[in-house]
Structure 1
Amino acid sequence: MKTLFLLTSAFIISVGLEAQLVSDQTNGIALDFTKEAPDGRVELPEIDWTFPTSAYTNSQENKIEFKAMISSKSPLKSVSLTLGKSRTGEPLGTKTIKIPKNSIQFEFEQSMTLWDGENVIGLIAENVDGGKVIEFRNVLVGIDAISKAVDINRKDYALLIGTDKYDHWSDLVNPVYDVETIGKELEDTYNFETEVLTNPEQDELLIKIKEYATKKYRPQDQLLIFIAGHGQFDETFGEGYLVTRGSLANDAAKTTYVAHSILRNIINNIPCDHILLVMDVCFSGTFDPVIASTRGAYENIDDSELLVRKLSKKTRRYLTSGGKEYVSDGIPGQHSPFAEKFITILKSRGGEDRIITLSEMYPEMQRLKTLPRMGEFGNNEKDSDFVFVVK
């Protein structure tokens, strides 16, 4: 017999002369104006979900461990949890979570066994000044739920490779700084599991990419590979190359470089359904023999349907800092122009829906003086995309 997580009392948020509730699709706030802070402002607690990070997810398992970090500038008064069958319907009840006295930060963890079908979990945090925040997570449970919502266990991975020190080429100033900054933004804001590889030799680079070919990926997992450094194009071979730390300056056979054709095949064979390769290197547009670009259109559907649609197509897409040309490394300590634009877009957090797609990103990247290129390779499916989802 299935054991259900039971909540002990009715959940009521008073909305009247003393308080005002403002809510949207994923969260809400309540302010108690009878408890005004000394400076006239009410500071709100913040809830940062660790798991699940998406507002709408599915799970084929009923038992789920919910995790979040709750922070407040003034001490927390209470933390509680609700469980309901729908957002607009009557909650089944509420459970008060015990927190240490005078806490301004609390790490919330609660294991729950959910019903088959739709479950709405509400996490409520209130501080002593009367500021109250409610964050919701919708979880669809059942063996057939996979086609209707985002997998609760899906992961996004990022491998970021930057080279600015060379044995036989001139050093660069920004690639390592660029990939470290992008990696931190992906990890902190978008919950990517990131790894940064700096100044690798040719074999180190290929071995590291091969490691990602041995990982076990779920159907909705994504992999971003970002490479920054020197690049070269050989007119005789009609081939573009990545230049690694030990690549020779005058290598007629190009055996110390990494050919784009080899990189295409290796990445295409990684058993992850959704892969985006971003290259901020000279001649990076020659990665694909046919340089193509597309623009995405706005889709008037809800967030969960958008994500399911984007994560249902096999993705093999690339975004490069230029075509068959040299690109700027930028001013020391200020990022390359391409990386700076990429970071700025990530920091925008996707607007109201908190989702950025590659199709939305590319028009902004086109504002750069050197025109970036976007296209597809390998086993890419029509209408595929890559998404960045704010946690």
Structure 2
Amino acid sequence: MKTLLPLWLCILAALPALSPTAPMPRAGQDYALLFAVNDYSGKLMPLTNPIKNARDIAKELETRFGFATEVVENPTLADIDKKLKEYEDRFARNISGRYPSGGQLFIFFSGHGTVRYNVGYFLPLGADPDSPNTTALDYNFWRNRIDAINCNHILVAVDACHSATFDPNWQNRPDRHFSRPGELSEKEKVILNHSKYKSRFFFTSDGKGDQTPDRSSFANKILEGLRTHSSPSGFLTSSELFANYVERAFPTPGGGDFGASEGGASFLFFHETKGPAVDFKTSEQLRRDLEAWENAQRIGTIAAYQEYLDNHPGGGFRSEALETINNQQDELQWRYAKAKDKPEAYREYLRLFPAGRHATEAKNAIDKAGTTLQSNTTDATPDIAALDRFIKIEGGTFQMGDIMGDKEYDNETLHPVTVSTFYLSPYEVTFEEYDRYCEAAGKEKPSDQGWGRGKRPVINVNWYDAVEYCNWRSQQAKLKPVYTINGTNVSADWSANGYRLPTEAEWEYAARAVNGKGGGKVRFGNGKDVADPKEINFDGSKEYKKPYSIVGEYRGKTTPVGSFSPNSLDLYDMSGNVWEWCWDWYGTYPTSTQADPKGPSSGPFRVRRGGSWVNVPVYARCAGRGNSTPDRRSYNLGFRLARAAR
């Protein structure tokens, strides 16, 4: 988890601002207590920004809103307990209580978070993520303790992975929409409610008990709302901010109330000055649209044009962008067919682009090879012909693990592995493909996070979803399914010829392609030793630069498969875009020679490989290993298909 850019902007909705329609802040009544952890060690990666962000929040609250602030840096669980006890005493209903009960208390947590058995935890300094019940801050306990503080208005903000678990109803809440009934009435009543009713509210940087990414649009959407909102009432309610701006952020944020919060309470942003609503259908909007289009043309990639479409849904160059993307995908698929120079490859080109620029050439190539174009080349149903798109990966022996000597993690021990010949899809499974399965099987389609479906890699699928899809594809192609599935018990028949997930060893062997052969000495899955955001979809922000990476664009979403150049085995997106599920249970590498290893026989986590759009360069390395519980679904996790060479 990397903390978000100023999360305080969402908090300001709970605080009184200077305005002709609101009272001035009362000195000595508003307090802020901020906990931030950077210096994790052991099983937890150190973080860069929590302390800096906490200091920035404190400074803003002091200078703009008159808060008395305190930042507790790198606290242990005992430190947090001691400090909250101090504030409990300061607000106490007795002679020792020095703080007024009618004031406000803002409590902020920033660092790592985790969830175990549906219980969420904030991880302080020294916490063991494998034993959070004894070393971490249990939200269920501490939420009740905070609720009991003798202060009328308390706002808790949690900026950590799985922060949605602070919500006492996080598993049962039908949606993550944040709305306060007390904000939905006329102006005078809203202001009265603000002073009359007790509030216990929270905002969380995610709303589904998921990971907070290295970078998100959460703060940007908040900033957009604060900058552009205009209302004759003179204030912006937190419900308006959430519904009109924040709710469109990624990942989906959460918010709500807890404890003794009363129904009529309200959080407000008061405008310091009033003015006419801003009309964004102006020359400024046109200028930004034109600049974005020119930037897309300058970069010239599919990803660049797709980003223009994503960021400018009403842009004036939408049709031109769509046409350019289609033409580039057409040309890319044709180049692939020409490189393969097989009838099956030309058929696949025609299936994807039946009226493409090279349709006549493709048909002539098929005829020249003495074959006849089948009537099902444009059929959307997967069939055995789709197998011919797979790349044959000739087997061999290689040194699996940290071949480049990066020494980033201790789970990448070098060891010799022999991999048999197998087939691997050149692309990650797309929404287009997975949606056909959902329609046929009557399953709910996974969310695309609002980025679009089609040829983007499918996301929000867990390991069980992936193996079920493999069996369905095998059945459609009249192949023998690999997996026997009985609830969460899944076994594999490695002699079957159907579709399956690659093993971890197969995946790394194929990713490390050099001169058309797997298992070479190379750092990234596109065949290069330096990660360039122009060539891989990952977080290339300056703060994450490594000696083996280049600073560049952070896209903040997936890109259509095949948007970047492949490795020398014609495999695309082996680094970045989405993590890819593998068959194996996660475990420590053996040191002895292994032949076609399948991983441990059991465990709590399945392996995922390749990094994703939201991850920093260290995770995009071919040697980098990730793991997740098999029931985990995420906006940066997908898969690709493999098949035995039989």
TM bucket normalised to smaller: 0.5 to 0.7
CA distance in 2, matches of 1:155, 1:344: 29
Structure 2 match to 1:63:
none
Residue 254 (structure 1) shift:
2.4
Measured against aligned partners, the alpha-carbon deviations of 1:38-90 in whole angstroms (never above 9, x if no partner) come to xxxxxxxxxxxxxx966468xxxxxxxxxxxxxxxxxxxxxxxxxxxxxxxxx
Structure 2 match to 1:327:
212
CA distance in 1, matches of 2:253, 2:89: 31
Structure 1 match to 2:443:
none
Structure 1 match to 2:313:
none
In the alignment, is residue 167 of structure 1 matched against residue 46 of structure 2?
Answer: no
Q: Map 1:52-63 to 2 at 5 A.
A: 55=20
C-alpha contact 2:187 2:233 (8 A) present in aligned 1: no
Measured against aligned partners, the alpha-carbon deviations of 1:293-318 in whole angstroms (never above 9, x if no partner) come to 4325554325xx64332121111111
Q: Map 1:199-214 to 2 at 5 A.
A: 199-214=74-89
Structure 2 match to 1:218:
100
CA distance in 2, matches of 1:382, 1:294: 13
Within the candidate set 251, 259, 264, 1:383 is matched to 264
CA distance in 1, matches of 2:70, 2:145: 18
Would the alpha carbon gap of residues 278 and 163 (structure 1) be closer, same or farther in structure 2, given more than 3 Å must change? same
CA-atom RMSD in angstroms:
3.1
CA distance in 2, matches of 1:329, 1:162: 16
Q: Map 1:339-378 to 2 at 5 A.
A: 339=219, 341=221, 355-363=235-243, 364-378=245-259
Within the candidate set 30, 33, 38, 1:156 is matched to 30
Measured against aligned partners, the alpha-carbon deviations of 1:150-200 in whole angstroms (never above 9, x if no partner) come to 885672222222212113311112212222222222222222222222211
Would the alpha carbon gap of residues 245 and 377 (structure 1) be closer, same or farther in structure 2, given more than 3 Å must change? same
| Partner SS, residue 218 of structure 1 | coil
| Partner SS, residue 254 of structure 1 | helix
Aligned pairs, how many? Answer: 239
In the alignment, is residue 301 of structure 1 matched against residue 187 of structure 2?
Answer: yes
CA distance in 2, matches of 1:311, 1:173: 38
Structure 2 match to 1:286:
165
C-alpha contact 1:150 1:308 (8 A) present in aligned 2: no
Residue 386 (structure 1) shift:
3.2
Measured against aligned partners, the alpha-carbon deviations of 1:203-238 in whole angstroms (never above 9, x if no partner) come to 111221222212244354111112111000002xx2
Looking at secondary structure, tell me which structure has more strand per residue: 1
Would the alpha carbon gap of residues 180 and 320 (structure 1) be closer, same or farther in structure 2, given more than 3 Å must change? same
Measured against aligned partners, the alpha-carbon deviations of 1:80-133 in whole angstroms (never above 9, x if no partner) come to xxxxxxxxxxxxxxxxxxxxxxxxxxxxxxxxxxxxxxxxxxxxxxxxxxxxxx
Would the alpha carbon gap of residues 350 and 230 (structure 1) be closer, same or farther in structure 2, given more than 3 Å must change? farther
Letter in 1 for 2:167: D
Residue 373 (structure 1) shift:
0.8
Within the candidate set 234, 247, 254, 2:116 is matched to 234
CA distance in 2, matches of 1:374, 1:181: 22
* Greater Cα shift, 238-247 or 201-210: 201-210
CA distance in 2, matches of 1:180, 1:202: 20
Residue 283 (structure 1) shift:
0.7
Letter in 2 for 1:325: D
Structure 2 match to 1:257:
136
CA distance in 2, matches of 1:210, 1:348: 40
| Partner SS, residue 149 of structure 2 | coil
Structure 2 match to 1:247:
127
C-alpha contact 1:274 1:316 (8 A) present in aligned 2: yes
CA distance in 1, matches of 2:194, 2:116: 36
CA distance in 1, matches of 2:271, 2:56: 17
C-alpha contact 1:178 1:339 (8 A) present in aligned 2: no
C-alpha contact 1:329 1:337 (8 A) present in aligned 2: no
C-alpha contact 1:328 1:337 (8 A) present in aligned 2: no
C-alpha contact 1:242 1:260 (8 A) present in aligned 2: yes
CA distance in 2, matches of 1:389, 1:344: 16
CA distance in 1, matches of 2:226, 2:73: 22
In the alignment, is residue 193 of structure 1 matched against residue 72 of structure 2?
Answer: no
Letter in 1 for 2:200: R
| Partner SS, residue 56 of structure 2 | helix
C-alpha contact 2:103 2:152 (8 A) present in aligned 1: yes
Would the alpha carbon gap of residues 192 and 307 (structure 1) be closer, same or farther in structure 2, given more than 3 Å must change? farther
Which of the pair has more CA radius of gyration?
2
| Partner SS, residue 384 of structure 1 | coil
Q: Unaligned 5+ residue runs, structure 1?
A: 1-51, 58-148, 331-335
Residue 359 (structure 1) shift:
2.7
Within the candidate set 259, 264, 272, 2:151 is matched to 272
* Greater Cα shift, 336-345 or 168-177: 336-345
Would the alpha carbon gap of residues 275 and 311 (structure 1) be closer, same or farther in structure 2, given more than 3 Å must change? same
Would the alpha carbon gap of residues 166 and 361 (structure 1) be closer, same or farther in structure 2, given more than 3 Å must change? same
Would the alpha carbon gap of residues 254 and 233 (structure 1) be closer, same or farther in structure 2, given more than 3 Å must change? same
Letter in 1 for 2:107: I
Q: Compute the TM-score of the two structures, normalised by the length of structure 1.
A: 0.53
CA distance in 1, matches of 2:222, 2:53: 10
CA distance in 2, matches of 1:390, 1:185: 17
Structure 2 match to 1:45:
none
| Partner SS, residue 196 of structure 2 | coil
Structure 1 match to 2:54:
179
CA distance in 2, matches of 1:218, 1:342: 30
| Partner SS, residue 328 of structure 1 | coil
C-alpha contact 2:123 2:129 (8 A) present in aligned 1: no
C-alpha contact 2:108 2:158 (8 A) present in aligned 1: yes
